Structure 1
């Protein structure tokens, strides 16, 4: 057992460590469960603690708050009709910019920073943490989208908030709900410099004396002595004297001939022991048959120069991409990576100082990210993604989309029939504004005014507001799939009931056709998109409830990856539908024109999904291969 002084010196916070395998991109269970180890090498990354994650969140909240404040001040400086200025295109543009900017800040801040900045938001960068994939790869755009869309579930009050917080507190890797679905983990990311008294940044390889003798102190004893010598100047007099006295008492029986002054003795002992640990006899027998232990100091002196060279090269390659290294450097870089990875395995076998291991793990991780991560030079084929892969994902998940349709349509029919059979209950279940609009509908129709007709100047504002609102509904439908589908089911059911009840209300006033004329232009695209987003939520729920042959963790990650494609398809359709709704449905265009657009939308969807079907037949694994 270590004495009290040693415990005090050696005390370090015990942090969780997460073992990440360096895989060779082999796929088993669609690349989720497979972790092909490169030469048996495992990289241990230090998990970010709850405190650093909360501090990062507070910092990011401060950045967002400042952005909202500046946005508000900027809007106040612009002339708007509500402040007495004349209506102008500039006021309309300001309103559109406001709506879209608020939406992008709320939903895009975390997603875009993490996806495009190596898993780091400004707060995470400040706290020295970042998000990576469970496999150790850099964070992908899909995973960033999944983990940050599910964030909305963690933000809900009471029930889901407590569940999300509980996962962070008690999950072995401190994962929140979004991390579980995305297959990500938050780790520490501060640049690690090897900090050993014997091998600082300026250490040089000196000629080895022929006879230095073998080390006389155990590794743990030398670390304690090393820490004390390093902290001498910072210790107060009483603490310095007490710690020095206790260590001298520990070492005295083995060194009867020593300096009278305790501090001089410890400094001299440290110097002599350091020289021995750099010498040829630094290797010693360790516990276990045939095992040896190499002093960290000698190991570092021999290898550090190569490690540092590789670390700098890996950092440059990770930042700029392998292509920037040049064709001549890439083979050498790969060879260096394998050499440093082998040094890491050798260091673990020899029982090298944990600080050396931590440094090596960071170096190997940087090399792995540079070799296997995505880089600026790698581009997604956007046309293929939009026209082939996204509709293929929808076709592949058609059973879940159909289930979402039924969860909406059956309550809608129920709501319609209930209001038609019992008109009086409309005042109990529908908002007063909707009832007032139905009562005024006959007069508006007689005047030739549409259901939600707005002046042409405000149509862009209407369109942007509708798009952002509908996209948020799609995000909610997907994210609440993590609640075993309960949240998604409620959202689809309640929206279906409301839609059916409103249609029944207007039918009671003889205005069903008037209402449907408004819905016709955009309704086909909008409802289809909502069903697709609902299918995404149900897909996640299926991964949680019925993982099949996969583990529940792997099933969730795979479901999240597939569902992200559905959400992307839904967002594209909702943007198109919102544009039509804001610019056409809310205009005074002729009903025939609106119904023509509705028919064209249906034809467009048929062609879109036919394209996806053909692509899926040609490449059945396309919907799950790309991360």
Structure 2
């Protein structure tokens, strides 16, 4: 395609579109608004033609800026609305977690099974931890360090550190799921660390301390990690098996938008988990009381997802962006 001839043929339309964009929308007549929409669609088609047939960088950049400006004028932002926040937490977030339930449950089941197996192996073979830890380090871990970890810093500082660390791990699992292996590696590393520490504690007769401290916050914390990893792996699967009616790009885009909803929704849930780990886990309360608090928080999250997400799913609702904000397909021939 002759780029110069193409630009000369359509340059007047592009200039007219720029002229309309420089004016306030409220100052445009109804006929000019219709003209703006038509010129925007033509410019978008022109951009697609240039990109597919002759990707000239200068013309592509100029048309991209023009199309983005026209899109902003044609579909202006509706602004911030509290109703949108409410819908996010009552519908969008629980719906996406609910729909990814099999992926999350599968990820969690595999992680727990692997961790239990590693704990059993390490506990039954005392020479294994000696390959990575000295006898003094093992004694210190069993008698002091494991329990002291939760109270070694000010609760608010420790809680913030835990929150950001868990959010980072969840983000890695979710984002790297698109290429599958990195997410699996992160889960493996966490299962390996849990198996080693748990095996040392169990092997030295401190099973009660290990479980009483871990389960208080770990039920909710690990569930968040399983959700992030499950959704991330679902994104990866979307380009491996997009289905018969979608291209790989469309499948990944839809799964990626779903992943973004889950990523945002997990932030406050991980905050709750961090608060429990910082203030409840090390608290001088009976172990049963602390376990009840952790279990209630965990069951509350599961009930929230099952009830709210199930209602939204059965009602046929969606957490995706409006159709106008999704990718558009236009003929270029």
Q: Check whether TM > 0.5.
A: yes
Residue 528 of structure 1: CA displacement?
Answer: 0.6
* Equivalent pair of 1:467/1:574 in contact (CA under 8 Å): yes
Stretches of structure 1 lacking an aligned partner (at least 5 in a row): 1-16, 18-218, 221-292, 317-324, 349-353
> Within the alignment, does 1:424 sit opposite 2:127 as a pair?
yes
Please show how residues 462-541 of structure 1 align to structure 2 within 5 Å: 462-483=158-179, 485-541=180-236
Whole-Å Cα distance in 2 between the matches of residues 491 and 468 of structure 1?
Answer: 16
Residue 547 of structure 1: CA displacement?
Answer: 1.9
Match of 2:113 in 1: 410
> Within the alignment, does 1:311 sit opposite 2:7 as a pair?
no
The structure with the largest alpha-carbon Rg is: 1
* Equivalent pair of 2:103/2:234 in contact (CA under 8 Å): yes
* Equivalent pair of 1:451/1:518 in contact (CA under 8 Å): no
Match of 1:382 in 2: 85
Match of 1:547 in 2: 242
Mark the CA change 1:371 to 1:341 in structure 2 (over 3 Å): closer, same or farther: closer
How many pairs align?
310
Whole-Å Cα distance in 1 between the matches of residues 105 and 290 of structure 2?
Answer: 26
Match of 1:435 in 2: 138
Q: Which has the higher contact order (CA 8 A, sep 6+)?
A: 2
| Residues 217-274 of structure 1: per-residue CA shift (max 9 Å, x gap) | xx99xxxxxxxxxxxxxxxxxxxxxxxxxxxxxxxxxxxxxxxxxxxxxxxxxxxxxx
* Equivalent pair of 2:150/2:278 in contact (CA under 8 Å): no
Whole-Å Cα distance in 1 between the matches of residues 226 and 69 of structure 2?
Answer: 42
Residue 537 of structure 1: CA displacement?
Answer: 1.8
Residue 577 of structure 1: CA displacement?
Answer: 0.3
Mark the CA change 1:295 to 1:572 in structure 2 (over 3 Å): closer, same or farther: closer
Please show how residues 120-269 of structure 1 align to structure 2 within 5 Å: none
Whole-Å Cα distance in 1 between the matches of residues 206 and 304 of structure 2?
Answer: 33
User: After the TM superposition, which of the residue ranges 522-531 and 578-587 deviates more from structure 2?
Assistant: 578-587
* Equivalent pair of 1:420/1:508 in contact (CA under 8 Å): yes
Whole-Å Cα distance in 2 between the matches of residues 494 and 368 of structure 1?
Answer: 45
Whole-Å Cα distance in 1 between the matches of residues 115 and 14 of structure 2?
Answer: 70
Stretches of structure 2 lacking an aligned partner (at least 5 in a row): 48-55, 327-333
> Within the alignment, does 1:334 sit opposite 2:14 as a pair?
no
* CA RMSD, Structure 1 to Structure 2 (Å): 3.8
| Residues 277-304 of structure 1: per-residue CA shift (max 9 Å, x gap) | xxxxxxxxxxxxxxxx99779x85x996
Structure richer in helix, relative to its length: 2
Residue 420 of structure 1: CA displacement?
Answer: 2.0
Mark the CA change 1:391 to 1:429 in structure 2 (over 3 Å): closer, same or farther: farther
* Equivalent pair of 1:414/1:497 in contact (CA under 8 Å): no
Residue 592 of structure 1: CA displacement?
Answer: 3.1
SS in 2 for 1:504: helix
Residue 368 of structure 1: CA displacement?
Answer: 2.1
* Equivalent pair of 2:105/2:226 in contact (CA under 8 Å): yes
Whole-Å Cα distance in 2 between the matches of residues 611 and 382 of structure 1?
Answer: 15
**Could you tell me which of 557, 576, 582 is aligned with 2:278?**
582
| Residues 478-500 of structure 1: per-residue CA shift (max 9 Å, x gap) | 122122x1111122123123213
